[in-house]
């Protein structure tokens, strides 16, 4: 049942019923049309209340129907709205909790709207690269006025219903605590015989000379929209509500909506939206897997990562103790935390009271006994197996039974760390990204012995601390850094062959990356990669890599923190200035290698960097390190600044076409350091079968 029908006196009540948010899927639309028609046909009914059962009026389109023919099957949302609008008896929308997207468009098709305060009112389609396609852009300005409607359509931001009381959107906003249904039925009985029935479509948008306002909006939105076409299309369609008669405006909106549906930008945004939801699902860990309670946390190590990780818990209201070996290091870590919070207060993003509250949740200690009762402990000490093993042995000895023992290691073998304890089922990797209190990504590393309840608990925890959790299997670098290594390798080879850091960064930033590889390395610290390469050179001496980055580190150019890296930096500034010294060193290095430098096109730079990610991503997928291609996309979108409008490396490869990607990889395999380009068997197979990575 996806719409309930009851009659109270002479008022029919149609209640959308499609949990969790009464998404307007085909079955719900059909049931709603049938219910309205039934009420219209019943002579005993004089008015109709349309509302939503459970937690929402309606959250809009049913996301489960996205990209399926059902979305376009009759009755479409348009048809449902027409049935409501053309009904010969008054239809009153009774709105509570959530009224968004198609839900709001449906309400706008009703003759009257009454609401409870606290309902979230929005047209959020722009966030998926779309615009409201069922009359929202034409009807909302008719009740809210041009400026307010434009703001809501372009931003997609929800507005609480009480803020809209007094506009023509609502005929009445009841006081909090009112029995909405009873009040709406009473309202409907009162207007049952009012004629003519008011229709939003018949109202005029009152804005005598809108051109200047529209032009200013157009320019402002253009500057903010970046590569996304939807915000500007929103401006144009809302503008049409003033310049065109209603039906023409509606057709224009339809045409723009269908156009946006096909744009790569909207496809990428919809992919990212679905990918984020998919990432929290693990096939062999069902939704009803029991979770452990997390009420107290501990962090070992008060360095760069440990302090940021502790802040995540405090922000979520979970008390956390940081353990250090030396009082000095502990004090420094706690001072960093205070400074971070105070900066946020200074920026006006946190109240002083909340700041103190959060700081009070974070305590420090030098004794394992003080963390023994924590429900979860996250180790963030030096990246050294010996140190980690010794910490885990102590955690094993001191932590209470059932505590989750997590490591923030970025490269070390989690199974080996787990083996240093007597409870490997309680050990898991929680790989945060720097700065840990800011970056959205959390790789949740599942060891071979990690318990399903431990995994389920950490997936739930990632939501609680507002991270995008993505599950990874155990391998060197997990999903993100393992792929990044191939990307960086290509970036370094490009320097040897003829490119300079600013050219490589420029090309990939124009592609849309937040930051090119060299600016990123300067920010993260070039010494981290140096340390890892030295370890690799011992473990895997056969893997060729460029020595350029080592030459840089040998000169102490570790990046922003030393005031010099791939670029020069002025004291206290983050602006990367091309360094003649580094560029000479790069050219000299090519000479030493006997490589004749050549002009390298931006397109080659982008292909080599992005396809290096794709090829390694395919191997990661095939090995089962990642559960699905969209998880890899989530890692890159939320942790590595991959351009959102391209949907992540795997989605991007699908949109280019895998045969084309494979051709390029084979071409590179025939070039210098071609051994780095062995095509992933999965890529070869999918390309041959004419398929993509997205199942």
Contact window for ligand NAI (CB under 6 A) among 107-115, 264-272, 298-306, 572-580: 298-306
Q: Is 125 part of the annotated catalytic residue set?
A: yes
Non-local CB neighbours of 230 within 8 Å, separated by 6+ positions: 125, 126, 129, 130, 131, 260, 263, 265, 266
Contact window for ligand NAI (CB under 6 A) among 273-281, 303-311, 347-355, 686-694: 303-311
Residue in 335, 387, 537, 543 binding ligand NAI, rule: CB under 6 A = 387
Residue in 409, 472, 503, 638 binding ligand NAI, rule: CB under 6 A = 409
Cα dihedral: 426, 431, 432, 434 (round 10): 150
Contact window for ligand NAI (CB under 6 A) among 85-93, 245-253, 429-437, 540-548: 429-437
- Cα–Cα distance measured from residue 141 to residue 147, given in angstroms and rounded to the nearest whole number: 8
Cα dihedral: 548, 551, 552, 554 (round 10): 160
303 forms part of the interface with ligand NAI (CB under 6 A): yes
What does the per-residue mask of binding to ligand NAI show for 467-506, with x meaning CB under 6 A? Answer: ----------------------------------------
Q: Is 105 part of the annotated catalytic residue set?
A: yes
In 327-420, the DSSP E strands lie at: 362-365, 376-379, 404-407
Length of the chain: 695
Nearer to ligand NAI, 141 or 480 (CB): 480
Contact 254, 135 (CB under 8 A): no
Nearer to ligand NAI, 129 or 517 (CB): 517
613 forms part of the interface with ligand NAI (CB under 6 A): no
Nearer to ligand NAI, 393 or 691 (CB): 393
Nearer to ligand NAI, 433 or 652 (CB): 433
Query: Interhelix angle for 146-155 vs 211-225, to 10°?
Result: 10
- Please report where in the chains the tokens 């960093």 appear, as a residue: 336
Residue in 140, 180, 302, 310 binding ligand NAI, rule: CB under 6 A = 302
306 forms part of the interface with ligand NAI (CB under 6 A): yes
From 37, 40, 74, 105, the catalytic residue: 105
Nearer to ligand NAI, 388 or 489 (CB): 388
- Cα–Cα distance measured from residue 341 to residue 357, given in angstroms and rounded to the nearest whole number: 11
- Cα–Cα distance measured from residue 7 to residue 18, given in angstroms and rounded to the nearest whole number: 20
Q: Hey, what are 292's tokens?
A: 């452990």
399 forms part of the interface with ligand NAI (CB under 6 A): no
Instruction: Find the helix or strand (DSSP H, E) in which 150 lies.
Output: helix 146-155
Q: How many residues sit close enough to ligand NAI to count as binding (CB under 6 A)?
A: 24
Contact 216, 209 (CB under 8 A): no
What does the per-residue mask of binding to ligand NAI show for 242-281, with x meaning CB under 6 A? Answer: ----------------------------------------
User: Which residue's CB atom is positioned nearest to ligand NAI?
Assistant: 303
Q: Hey, what are 651's tokens?
A: 């989605």
- Cα–Cα distance measured from residue 549 to residue 564, given in angstroms and rounded to the nearest whole number: 13
Residue in 325, 540, 555, 603 binding ligand NAI, rule: CB under 6 A = 325
Residue in 380, 399, 549, 618 binding ligand NAI, rule: CB under 6 A = 380
Cα dihedral: 609, 611, 613, 618 (round 10): -170
Nearer to ligand NAI, 97 or 408 (CB): 408
Burial readout 170-179 (b: 16 or more C-beta within 10 A, e: otherwise): bbebbeeebe
The Cα angle at residue 279 between residues 60 and 263, in degrees rounded to 5? 55
The Cα angle at residue 449 between residues 446 and 454, in degrees rounded to 5? 60
304 forms part of the interface with ligand NAI (CB under 6 A): yes
Q: What is the smallest separation between the CB atom of 615 and ligand NAI, expressed in angstroms?
A: 24
User: Where would I find the H helices in 194-245?
Assistant: 211-225, 230-243
Q: Which residues does residue 445 pair with via DSSP β-bridges, in sequence order?
A: 429, 472
366 forms part of the interface with ligand NAI (CB under 6 A): no
Q: What is the smallest separation between the CB atom of 336 and ligand NAI, expressed in angstroms?
A: 10
Residue in 26, 279, 381, 495 binding ligand NAI, rule: CB under 6 A = 381
Non-local CB neighbours of 371 within 8 Å, separated by 6+ positions: 298, 300, 321, 323, 365, 377, 398, 399
From 65, 74, 85, 125, the catalytic residue: 125
Site for ligand NAI in 211-230 (CB under 6 A): none
Residue in 83, 300, 399, 687 binding ligand NAI, rule: CB under 6 A = 300
324 forms part of the interface with ligand NAI (CB under 6 A): yes
397 forms part of the interface with ligand NAI (CB under 6 A): no
Phi-psi region of 436 (alpha: psi -120 to 50; beta: other; left: phi over 0): alpha
Report how far Cα 587 is from the mean position of its chain's Cα atoms.
Answer: 40
Residue in 2, 410, 421, 579 binding ligand NAI, rule: CB under 6 A = 410
Non-local CB neighbours of 363 within 8 Å, separated by 6+ positions: 319, 320, 321, 322, 370
370 forms part of the interface with ligand NAI (CB under 6 A): no
Contact window for ligand NAI (CB under 6 A) among 430-438, 470-478, 638-646, 666-674: 430-438
Q: What is the smallest separation between the CB atom of 366 and ligand NAI, expressed in angstroms?
A: 9
Measured over the CA atoms of residue 687, residue 688, residue 690 and residue 692, the dihedral's sign is: negative
Contact window for ligand NAI (CB under 6 A) among 207-215, 420-428, 431-439, 449-457: 431-439
What does the per-residue mask of binding to ligand NAI show for 328-357, with x meaning CB under 6 A? Answer: -x----------------------------
Contact window for ligand NAI (CB under 6 A) among 153-161, 383-391, 641-649, 677-685: 383-391
Contact window for ligand NAI (CB under 6 A) among 265-273, 405-413, 448-456, 605-613: 405-413
Residue in 367, 382, 393, 592 binding ligand NAI, rule: CB under 6 A = 382
- Cα–Cα distance measured from residue 147 to residue 126, given in angstroms and rounded to the nearest whole number: 17
What residues act catalytically? 105, 125
Residues near ligand NAI, by CB under 6 A: 300-306, 323-325, 329, 380-383, 387, 391, 408-410, 432-434, 524
């Amino acid at each position: 049942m996806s719409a309930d029908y009851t009659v109270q006196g002479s008022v029919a009540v149609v209640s959308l019923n499609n949990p969790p948010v009464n998404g307007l899927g085909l079955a719900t639309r059909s049931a709603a049309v049938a219910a309205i028609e039934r009420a219209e046909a019943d002579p005993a009914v004089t008015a109709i209340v349309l509302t939503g059962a459970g937690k929402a009026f309606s959250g809009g389109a049913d996301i489960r129907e996205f990209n399926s023919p059902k979305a376009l099957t009759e009755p479409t949302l348009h048809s449902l709205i027409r049935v409501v609008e053309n009904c010969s008896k008054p239809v009153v929308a009774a709105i509570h909790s959530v009224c968004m997207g198609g839900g709001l468009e449906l309400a706008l098709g009703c003759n009257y709207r009454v609401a409870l305060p606290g309902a979230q009112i929005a047209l959020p389609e722009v966030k998926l690269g779309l615009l409201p396609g069922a009359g929202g852009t034409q009807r909302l300005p008719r009740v809210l006025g041009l400026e307010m409607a434009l703001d809501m359509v372009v931003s997609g931001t929800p507005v609480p219903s009480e803020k809209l009381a007094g506009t023509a959107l609502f005929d009445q906003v009841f006081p909090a605590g009112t029995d909405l249904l009873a009040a709406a039925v009473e309202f409907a009985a009162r207007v049952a015989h009012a004629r003519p029935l008011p229709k939003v479509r018949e109202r005029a948008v009152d804005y005598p000379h809108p051109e200047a306002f529209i032009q200013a909006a157009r320019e402002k939105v253009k500057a903010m929209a970046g590569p996304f076409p939807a915000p500007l299309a929103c401006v144009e369609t809302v503008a049409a509500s003033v310049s065109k008669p209603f039906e023409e405006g509606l057709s224009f909106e339809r045409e723009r909506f269908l156009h946006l549906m096909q744009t790569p930008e909207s496809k990428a945004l919809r992919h990212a939206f679905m990918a984020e939801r998919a990432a929290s699902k693990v096939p062999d860990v069902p939704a009803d897997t029991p979770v452990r309670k997390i009420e107290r946390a501990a962090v070992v190590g008060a360095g760069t990562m440990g302090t940021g990780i502790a802040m995540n818990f405090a922000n979520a209201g979970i008390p956390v103790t940081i353990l250090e070996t030396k009082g000095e290091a502990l004090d420094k870590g706690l001072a960093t935390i205070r400074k971070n919070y105070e900066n946020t207060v200074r920026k006006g993003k946190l109240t002083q009271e909340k700041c103190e509250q959060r700081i009070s949740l974070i305590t420090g200690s030098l004794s394992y006994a003080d963390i023994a009762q924590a429900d979860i402990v996250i180790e963030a000490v030096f990246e050294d197996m010996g140190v980690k093993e010794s910490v885990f042995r102590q955690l094993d000895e001191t932590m209470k039974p059932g505590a989750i023992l997590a490591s923030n290691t970025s490269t070390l073998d989690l199974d080996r760390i787990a083996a240093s304890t007597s409870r490997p089922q309680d050990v898991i990797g929680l790989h945060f990204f720097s700065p840990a209190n800011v970056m959205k990504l959390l790789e949740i590393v599942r060891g071979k012995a990690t318990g399903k309840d431990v995994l389920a608990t950490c997936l739930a925890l990632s939501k609680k601390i507002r991270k995008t959790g993505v599950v990874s299997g155990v391998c060197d670098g997990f999903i993100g850094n393992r792929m990044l290594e191939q990307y960086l390798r290509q970036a370094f080879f490009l320097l040897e062959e003829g490119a300079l850091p600013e050219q490589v960064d420029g090309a990939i930033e124009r592609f849309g990356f937040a930051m090119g590889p060299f600016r990123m390395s300067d920010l993260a610290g070039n010494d981290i990669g140096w340390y890892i390469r030295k370890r690799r050179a011992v473990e895997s001496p056969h893997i060729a890599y460029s020595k350029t980055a080592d030459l840089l580190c040998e000169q102490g150019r570790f990046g922003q923190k030393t005031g010099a890296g791939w670029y020069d930096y002025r004291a206290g500034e983050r602006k990367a200035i091309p360094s003649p010294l580094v560029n000479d060193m790069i050219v000299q290095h090519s000479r030493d290698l006997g490589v004749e430098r050549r002009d390298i096109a931006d397109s080659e730079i982008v292909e080599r960097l992005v396809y290096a990610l794709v090829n390694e991503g395919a191997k990661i997928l095939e090995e089962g390190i990642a559960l699905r291609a969209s998880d890899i996309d989530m890692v890159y979108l939320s942790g590595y600044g991959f351009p959102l409008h391209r949907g992540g490396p795997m989605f991007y490869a699908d949109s280019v076409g895998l045969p084309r990607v494979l051709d390029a990889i084979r071409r590179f395999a025939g070039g210098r350091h071609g051994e780095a380009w062995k095509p992933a068997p999965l890529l070869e197979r999918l390309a041959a079968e004419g398929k993509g990575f997205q199942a």
